[in-house]
Amino acid sequence: MKTPDANKKTIVRFAPSPTGALHLGGARTALFNYLFARQNKGKFILRIEDTDKERSKKEHEEDIVNGLKWLGFDFDEFYRQSEREDIYKKYLKKLIGEGKAYVSKESGALEAGERSEVIRFKNPNKKISFSDMIRGEIEFDTTELKDFVIAKSLEEPLFHLAVVVDDFEMEITHIIRGEDHISNTPRQILIQEAIGAPKPFYAHLPLILDSDRAKLSKRKHGEKVSLSHYIKQDYLPQAVSNFMALLGWNPGTNQEIFTLDELIEKFNIKKIQKGGAIFNEEKMKWVNKEHLKLLPPDQIADEIYKIARNHYDTDISYVKKLYPLILDRINSFGDVNGIIEAGEIDFFFKRPDYEKDSLKWKGDSDIMMTKTHLEHARLSLENISEEQFTIDNIKNVLFGYAEKMGKGSVLWPIRFALSGREKSPDPFAIMSALGKKETIERIKIAEQKIK
Ligand code: GLU
């Protein structure tokens, strides 16, 4: 029996069946293959396993290819099994010729659509073993598998045959795939031995589970399991890769945020856990937010500007000033529309409308005191120049007064005058973003309302 040759150039493949949209489990398999290929200076192959003609759909293939491109996993070669039938046929003929497979006339009651003739693999009924980089040595007695079907006809190979032939032809050295394929491995090893293929290394990745330890599935968890959901929400591809890498792997340090290049450097397939990996959506949001913060400021401002300009009359230089206040409130760029629709940031772009009574701090009884505070604040702010209108300078001129007169009494009316909202970012930050002129103007309007 041939064993894996550790000195060979690493070649891995991601081999999805296009029977559904690319889900997180599949994308994670692609990621681990990609990382492994790149860190070993090897080859990453994308192979579409579309031998099941009824269930394979072009739209799913497109979704898979687009998903990988969006993630930035450039593949070195691309194949479609439906275009390789001649190759499988050659192997089937050879196996039959050597007595390792046979055409079987099926008798008995056949279900609709079933053939009366199939090609069965002649099981040598033996013990096989393979070494799994995650799970260690696995042994299996193949007797119980009987003579299993490997093709419906010479033109219609089934899954196991096509996988083994392709892995051999493509010289795959490491098979990295989901744990659900462990039970397929013994059949595939028997076929490998029959066609004289070397045995690759295996790594079967743990399942992805929800917090109740149920397998993540489209039926139970809906859109959240599809990669396209995160693309639509404008998640960052590097954040999604980072998050997926942590589904079953960790670096053994406290580091949780990785760029794709760092993952290529630090990922270690041997450190992947055997047990199920728990999917946590809140963590995904957090990881994305951390990656948002790593972007160049101009890029963040630009992304926010592109959304904001559809709703407000604004310009990029203004958005550059206030973007940190928006960044604080979002986990992904996709959230920007949500906070705009909720009216949460309207006040940055237009003057707020409100009743004069809402200017009064809840602990105060006399609204004329509120007016005094507003006026005092306005006059103090006049002393700062437009260029020096920074959060720190604003705080310097207002904070002493606010502490003396009561922070609520002084800062609440200012914040309301600026934003018209009970909940908003810190008033000093709003003032600095709005600029001196607009800040003074809004405080004046509030004073006039009280008069
Ligand atoms: N086509 C199989 C699937 O989508 C994967 C086969 C393999 O990785 O060996 O589940």
Q: What are the φ and ψ backbone dihedral angles of 205, each rounded to 5 degrees? A: -80, 145
Per-domain residue ranges of the chain: 218-293, 295-348, 356-449
pLDDT computed for residue 108 by the predictor = 66
How far from 4 is each of 72, 168, 175, 295, 317, CA to CA, in Å? 29, 12, 11, 42, 59
d(CA 33, CA 180): 16
* 160 touches ligand 1 (CB under 6 Å): no
356-449: which CATH topology? Arc Repressor Mutant, subunit A (1.10.10)
Question: Taking Cα atoms as reference points, which of 139, 121, 119 lies closest to residue 130?
Answer: 139
Q: What is the pTM of this model?
A: 0.92
Segments of the chain scoring below 50 in pLDDT: 1-2
pLDDT of residue 451: 83
What pLDDT shows up at residue 7? 75
> Cα of 420 to ligand 1 centre, how many Å?
56
User: Could you give phi then psi for residue 379, rounded to 5 degrees?
Assistant: -65, -35
* Cα–Cα distance measured from residue 90 to residue 154, given in angstroms and rounded to the nearest whole number: 9
What pLDDT is stored for residue 113 in this prediction?
A: 64
Residue 163 beta carbon below 6 angstroms from any ligand 1 atom: yes
Q: Is the CB of 288 under 6 A from ligand 1?
A: no
- pLDDT tens figures, 107-161: 766 666 666 899 999 999 999 999 999 999 999 999 999 999 999 999 999 999 9
**292-343: per-residue pLDDT in tens?**
999 999 999 999 999 999 999 999 999 999 999 999 999 999 999 999 999 9
What is the CA(20)–ligand 1 centre distance, in A? 13
Task: Round to the nearest angstrom and report the end-to-end CA distance of the chain.
Answer: 95
The answer to whether the beta carbons of residues 288 and 400 sit under 8 Å apart is no
d(CA 261, CA 280): 24
Half-sphere exposure of 14 (CA within 13 A, CB side): 28
Tell me, using a 6 A CB cutoff, whether residue 172 lines ligand 1: no
Q: How far, in Å, CA of 321 to CA of 350, rounded?
A: 16
Model pLDDT, residue 106: 85
Q: How far apart are CA 361 and CA 180, in angstroms?
A: 61
Pocket probe mutation, ligand 1, options 60, 167, 181, 202, max atoms within 8 Å of Cβ:
181
**Going by CA atoms, what residue is nearest to atom 6 of ligand 1?**
15
Closest CA to 82 of 188, 157, 153: 157
Q: What fold, for 218-293?
A: Glutamyl-tRNA Synthetase; domain 2 (1.10.1160)
pLDDT of residue 241: 98
Given ligand 1 and candidates 56, 80, 177, 205, which is best to mutate, with the most ligand atoms within 8 Å of its CB?
177
pLDDT on residue 8: 85
